[in-house]
Amino acid sequence: MLLKIVSVGEPVLRAASQELSKEQILSPSTQKLIEYMRETVRDAPGVGLAAPQVGESLQLAVIEDKFEYQKSLTEKELKAQERTEVPFHVIVNPVLELLTEPTETFFEGCLSLPGFTAVVARAKEVRVHCLDHCGEPRAIHASGWYARILQHEIDHLRGTLYIDRMQGRSFSTLENYTRHWKDR
C-alpha cells in the first residue's frame, strides 16, 4: 500500500518525533508501516523516507539507494558524490555523530518539497547508533552520499528540513537546476 507523502507546511514535518521501544518496533502496526514506507519510497522514487513524511511522528526512517537510481549520473558525478549502492534498511531512534565538519556541498532535494532543490552542506563522514527493524542495536559508519542520506533523514526526525540548512541563493526548481546547474 502506498502512503501519502505530506508536503512542507504540515506541522508533523516541524515536530520532534517520538522514540519507539523494541516492543513498539515489533508490533504489527509498526512492521506494516515499515513495509508501506518501503513501497512508498520505491514508488516515489527516493533514497530515504522518514515517518514524519507520511504523517507519523515516530523516530523511524527507511533508506535505500539502488544502483538503478544512479544510472543517470556520470562517473565523474558518482565519484564526486562518493555514491554507491545502499541496500534497504531501517533506522529507529538514531543518534547521529558527525565525524567531519559539514563542508561537503551538493544539491539536495526532498519528497516533501517536490519540484525543488538547493545546495546543502553536510558532513562527509558520520556514525549513527540506532535500532533496526527488529529492535536490535546497530552502529552505522557512513561516508559520501550515504552519510548525506542519513543526515537528511535524521533531520526529518528532529523537525528539520533541508531548506533550513540550504544555501539560500541556490534554491531552485528542478527544471531550472537541470537547465542551468546540473552539468556544472
| Residue 121 belongs to some domain of the structure | yes
Q: How far apart are CA 121 and CA 115, in angstroms?
A: 20
Exposure class string for 7-16: b at 16+ Cβ within 10 A, else e:
eeeeebbeee
| Residue 161 belongs to some domain of the structure | yes
Q: Residue written as cell 528542478?
A: 174
Q: How far apart are CA 72 and CA 8, in angstroms?
A: 27
Nearest alpha carbon to residue 18 among 151, 147, 157, 171:
157
| Residue 119 belongs to some domain of the structure | yes
Whether 101 is a known active-site residue: answer no
- pLDDT by residue (tens digit) across 122-168? 999 999 999 999 999 999 999 999 999 999 999 999 999 999 999 99
| Residue 5 belongs to some domain of the structure | no
| Residue 131 belongs to some domain of the structure | yes
Q: How many CB atoms lie within 10 A of CB 76?
A: 8
Q: How many domains does the chain have?
A: 1
Instruction: State which residues form the domain around 33.
Output: 11-180
| Residue 72 belongs to some domain of the structure | yes
Under the banding of pLDDT at 50, 70 and 90, the label for residue 8 is very high
| Residue 61 belongs to some domain of the structure | yes
Catalytic residue (choose from 64, 104, 108, 153): 153
CB–CB of 91/122 below 8 Å? Answer: no
CATH code assigned at 33: 3.90.45.10
Amino acid 71: pLDDT? 87
| Residue 135 belongs to some domain of the structure | yes
- pLDDT by residue (tens digit) across 49-90? 999 999 999 999 999 999 888 888 889 888 999 999 999 999
